[in-house]
Chains A and B, each alone.
Chain A
Amino acid sequence: MMRIPKLIDRVDFGLMSPDEIRKVSVTKVITADTYDEDGYPIERGLMDSRLGVVDPGLRCRTCGSRAGDCPGHFGHVELARPVVHVGYIDSIYNCLRATCRKCGRILLQEPKLEEHRKWIVEMREAGQKWWEMTNKIVKSASTTEKCPYCGEKRVSLKLEKPTTFIEGKNRLTPSDIRERLERITGDDAVLLGINSKIARPEWMVLTALPVSPVTVRPSITLESGVRSEDDLTHKLVDIIRINQRLSENIEAGAPHLIVEDLWELLQYHVTTYFDNGISGIPPARHRSGRVLRTLAQRLRGKEGRFRGNLSGKRVDFSARTVVSPDPNISINEIGVPEHIARTLSVPIRATEHNIEELRNLIRRGPDIYPGANCMISPDSKRYDLRYADCEELAKTVEPGFIVERHMMDGDVVLFNRQPSLHRMSIMAHEVKVLPGRTFRLNLSVCPPYNADFDGDEMNVHAPQREEAQAEARILMKVQEQIISPRFGGPIIGGIQDHITGAYLLTRKDTLLTREQSQQLLATVGMFVDLPKSAVKEKGVEYWTGKQIFSMLFPKELNLSFKAKICENCARCLKEECEIDAYVVIRDGQLLHGVMDARSYKALDRCEVLDRIVKDYGTTAAREFLDRATKLSIAAAVMLGFTTSINDEDIPPEAKERINEVLDDAQEKVNKLINIYNAGELEPLPGRSLRETLEMRIMEVLAESRDRAGEIAEKYLGLDNHAVIMARTGARGSMLNLTQMAACVGQQSVRGERLSRGYRRRTLPHFKLGDLGAEARGFVSSSYKDGLKQLEFFFHAMGGREGLVDTAVRTAQSGYMQRRLINALQDLRVEYDGTVRDDRGAVVQFVYGEDGVDPAHSDNGKAVNVEKIIERVVGG
């Protein structure tokens, strides 16, 4: 097993001293050249073979390893003149501002400093953020005018971004800065947030520059044989060239100005070597004009080391493809294409019980499904079945071998759709290998993944070890996620046709013959005796749809609730309800009412499914849901269900009445405008006259649309298929239907009638200052009749706002999600019920203050007493 050679006690983050840089360096780099004519690395050049090797065949002159094994080794450049490190520019500024320019002490009285030191020691011991004190110290010290130690007067100091300091009128050279930082004592440095045992202030000004190993800046050989160097190498070439020229000029005693210029150029190159995205200086470019990607750019941003390689990794044993629906598999299952099943493998340890089976799989090899891809002997030797004689290899398998066989039916995999916003975005499914090239999923799991089939792609991950597989099965299986921790109710349930079908089957006048009844039950996989028929007519037996649906319920189920189609009559007739909207289930028999969205729709009240999960467990719930959805779809197919634009037809007299209502409203609006223009409008409290007018107009128009809708609704009864979908909660709303049949209504932007576009009018087709209904975006046409040209334009204005809103919302919530995850990732509920962070500090003394797991709660509460009474008493 793994051995831990050393235990890490702690990690210090400090600065490297110039001496340390020289100590870790395997060579001083003195020439900017890389390779000689023969293609070998030049000694003491940027590709010196002591810095590590990347070309196959060569050996590293430091560690003796070949490419791949050699980790790479640092070199260094001796800078002719010191250079400021951009990364520490703010700390340097703080140090210079807070200290005396002559004696280097912090510009505060000693007793005050001593007080701060004590506080810092205390905070450090308590594990607190002691460095936050430095801001205060710098702030007060940088306003002191005279040094309390040597009496030196302050000279104003300015930082000119990115790296230039101006004192009074003079520019400070990095050498000056370094000298000043050297004077800061260790005791003072602590107060500036610097632990001088591991980071002396003057080390923020470089005198030696580490040269990164070639392994982090490998050169690429193109097909044409031309070598192409890494951006970092290009940058190092610049640095070394300028450094050389600088030191030559200094030695030759060149004029001050020339030396200064070269020094500044060296500073520029070193700065862009660290970070090529600094404002205030032009970014360094490649010969082709491309901006160079230097050290900071490698780490930063979405594709950077942190977000791209550490927080988000590419993984093995995963697959991705388009998803499509399959109503015939269970919610727990996932259809996996054979091609993927052949590529993803699961390691199985050979025992005397499964050895024959495994031998057979090996014999079939990697290309015939089901087969195996690989075999591993107990001494960890891998045998790739692609390049082996499978027949021979199969004979050598003994107990203790591991066979990486193809993925097979019943294996557990994790299924995921991005964006993974909640835990139901990754659930465990059982594999079912199917023909085709897409992942297949049951329609009931669309809501938790937020998936549809307009081209969505999803990912699969195959857990390899038994622990991982067991954990996935027990904790992550779809049936365990039916109740959402968000609101304590089902997030997995029927959708769309599942609801329509259930309604068609369970409404009052649905009668089925013996053949029909048994056909339906057979599609669900129930081959059982029918109960006693409910109706007998002319010697023919009939069963009600309620009887058939009831066969899916647990025998002891007792429930009563109002269905979605309920009209909320002033006095509820309960069992006597005319439209059968009061559901009564006694001893597992649906006595009254219809099944609709209230009974088992995902994300709805979902009374029946909710009860079954909570009282009979997740397996019973899964069985119910698998059967109920299948039964409903079979019923919809058998009974017939279709919708078309004709469903939004209303008779001419209704049209006439609607037009009357709309004309009426039009007139009322004009009257209001006249009153307003006459200055006789009574303002509402706290509103200006204009605002009052707007509100009154909106009121009148909204009411007219509602009345138009009501008129249309009178002709849209429950025998209308579009209405069935809307009223049962399957799809669409009555508003959608009346907008199609009667009148679309007012278009708005930011909750107000449309007003902008041209000066004092929405479009040039209107008079200036026209406040009428038409001129401000009221659409009196219905979708079915079609919109007039101007109405269409106004409708597009309102529609655009909706699109912009969604785009903005997703961006904002995405950012919030990232922040929340970063803040909360280490919190967990301990066994004592407390919520703690990674240092064991208590965040909540009882989780959620009530200790209830919402995923196992009843709509957020631990128990629902009323439901329990109904269950026990039986209603």
Chain B
Amino acid sequence: MSVEFDARQHVLVPKHEILSKEKAREVLERYKISPHQLPFIMSSDPVVKAIDAKPGDILQVSRNSPTAGRAIVYKYVIEE
């Protein structure tokens, strides 16, 4: 394939955003947790590569939900 594939364009891939340091701290405070208690996402994940997130970053994933309409999930980027 000559054209670089962008995972973010796929219909089944929800929106991933990197949270600012500020926002990330807020999230951790809100749930009173350390980053390791968040769900993980690997740095090798195509979406993580696409948005250029680095291990240690916290991502906000906004996806469609059959029960709630829209659901927000936070994920912690880990190595490999």
Contact = CB atoms under 8 A, between A and B. Distances in A.
Are A and B genuine complex partners? yes
A842 B38 contact: yes
A222 B31 CA distance: 63
- Contact residues on B (Cβ < 8 Å of other chain), bracket: 10 to 19
Contacts of A842: 31, 33, 37-39, 74
Contacts of B73: 845
A845 B74 contact: yes
A846 B31 contact: no
B37 to A, nearest CB: 4
Contacts of A849: 65, 67-68, 71
Interface residues of A, number: 18
B68 A843 contact: no
Given A127-B36, A845-B74, A848-B68, 4 more contacts: A836-B37, A841-B33, A845-B71, A846-B71
Given A834-B31, A849-B65, A850-B65, A841 B71 contact: no
B19 to A, nearest CB: 14
A846 B68 contact: yes
B3 interface: no
A840 B67 contact: no
B38 A841 contact: yes
A-B pairs with lowest CB-CB distance, top 4? A850-B68, A849-B71, A850-B67, A841-B37
B59 to A, nearest CB: 13
Interface in B39-80: 39, 65, 67-68, 71-74
B54 to A, nearest CB: 15
Contacts of B72: 845
A834 B65 CA distance: 16
A126 interface: yes
A850 B70 CA distance: 9
A840 B33 CA distance: 8
Most buried by B among A845, A850, A851, A852: A845
A832 B29 CA distance: 13
Interface of A: 126-127, 832, 834, 836, 839-843, 845-846, 848-852, 860
Nearest to B67: A850
Contacts of A834: 31
Nearest to B38: A842
A94 B38 CA distance: 34
27 contacts: A126-B36, A127-B36, A834-B31, A839-B37, A840-B33, A840-B37, A841-B36, A841-B37, A841-B38, A842-B31, A842-B33, A842-B38, A842-B74, A843-B39, A845-B71, A845-B72, A845-B73, A845-B74, A846-B68, A848-B67, A848-B68, A849-B65, A849-B68, A849-B71, A850-B65, A851-B68, A860-B67
A425 B8 CA distance: 45
A851 B72 CA distance: 13
Contacts of B33: 840-842
Contacts of A852: 67
Nearest to A839: B37
A851 B71 CA distance: 11
A839 B39 CA distance: 12
B16 to A, nearest CB: 15
Nearest to A836: B37
A487 B72 CA distance: 25
Contacts of A851: 68
A157 to B, nearest CB: 30
Contacts of A845: 31, 71-74
Contacts of B67: 848-850, 852, 860
Contacts of A840: 33, 37
A860 B37 CA distance: 29
B31 A832 contact: yes
Contacts of B31: 832, 834, 842, 845
